[in-house]
Structure 1
């Protein structure tokens, strides 16, 4: 059960069944989508590396965020950079959620999702687009990636691009490591990066 809080005071204190609220929310999301008013849909997904925020536009998956990135802040940024029409609409993310579940279960080694890369541009986008060429279970150094995108001296810039990857896990920046073989930093934290590399090495 949940208590409704209405800023106008008309329904304040009314008790509504959680199932009713869930049904109303799903109807709102479906109506917004059919009317072309749902620019960014989102949901969260429980995974072995924490609850991931998934967000998608009609063009594809646009954001995956770890808990340490502050999901509310990420949603606020999406509202500013893409559209204020942001709504929890889990159904639009069903395919992404299913593929991520399969990945964490060890039954998927490659994602087949439409992606929206509008949150990255320039050199960072070149790096992000290259990362999917690093196969499941493989690793590449920051220097190797820099050379692959045509700028061998841009090792730090590659690190920055990986840190700003809008689609971690799906676009595998976790497979980029230091030249000495140590795993380096990661947007989701060292424990998450270690867990992903361990999963892929199994």
Structure 2
């Protein structure tokens, strides 16, 4: 009986490996034929499992588990393209950079970005987030001013709250004028962890 279970386990393992190889081959073929618009994968980090998604242009989305990964993928299918496939290879560079960031070996990200999910003033705010240095913070008022609209503090907060590429575009470095932490797409605890990591 035990031998039968061992054989069944080996067969199941072989089948899993075969399916993984088939999936990788299909993803590679889809990319080479230009029918893979959005590749995605998940990646475990100290702030939870992140969903990573990218187009050929660059990183499109980083999502926390609390955003519900399935819902995020469905939204990308509706707003960008339904041609989405789990194709980790396109996101290997981002995964490596995230690992380096979380182990303190990296202070900024070099991956190309696809910012099509943000428009107008929100996009302008996002373009200034990388100007906030590692280990530093800025106020919502400061980021609104940097984006050219000093009175648009609420809109700057909204832009940070809807940042489609958190961690990579460091909206966690934007805090209230008194230095206190406010809402964050990954939760206030994730924001605190990121700031503590950068302060270490």
TM-score, normalised relative to structure 2: 0.92
Whole-Å separation in 2 of the counterparts to 1:79 and 1:184: 30
Give the superposition deviation at 1:17: 1.2
Q: Structure 1 residue 16: deviation in Å?
A: 7.0
The match for 1:168 is 166
Per-residue deviation, residues 30-87 of structure 1 (Å, max 9, x unmatched):
1100111100000000000000000000000000000000000100111111111000
Alpha-carbon distance in structure 2 between the residues aligned to 1:113 and 1:24: 28
Name the residue aligned to 1:31: 29
Aligned length in residues: 189
Residue 190 of structure 1 pairs with residue 188 of structure 2: yes
Q: Deviations over 1:98-148 (max 9, x none)?
A: 000000011000100100000000000000001110010000000111111
Cα distance in 2 for partners of 1:171, 1:68 equals: 18
Aligned to 2:42: 44
1:7-18 pair list within 5 angstroms: 17-18=15-16
Match for residue 101 of structure 2? Answer: 103
* Structure 2 equivalent of residue 75 of structure 1: 73
Distance 1:145 1:30 in 2: 41
- What residue ranges of structure 1 are gaps of 5+ in the alignment? 1-13
Unaligned runs of 5+ in 2: 1-11
Equivalent in 56, 60, 63 of residue 62 of structure 1: 60
CA RMSD after TM alignment? 1.2
1:8 matched to which residue of 2?
Answer: none
- Is 2:118 the counterpart of 1:153? no
| Misfit runs of 4+, over 6 Å | none
Q: Greater helix share, 1 or 2?
A: 2
Q: Deviations over 1:3-51 (max 9, x none)?
A: xxxxxxxxxxx99711111011101101100111100000000000000
1:10 corresponding residue in structure 2:
none
Choose from 119, 137, 140 the match for 2:138: 140
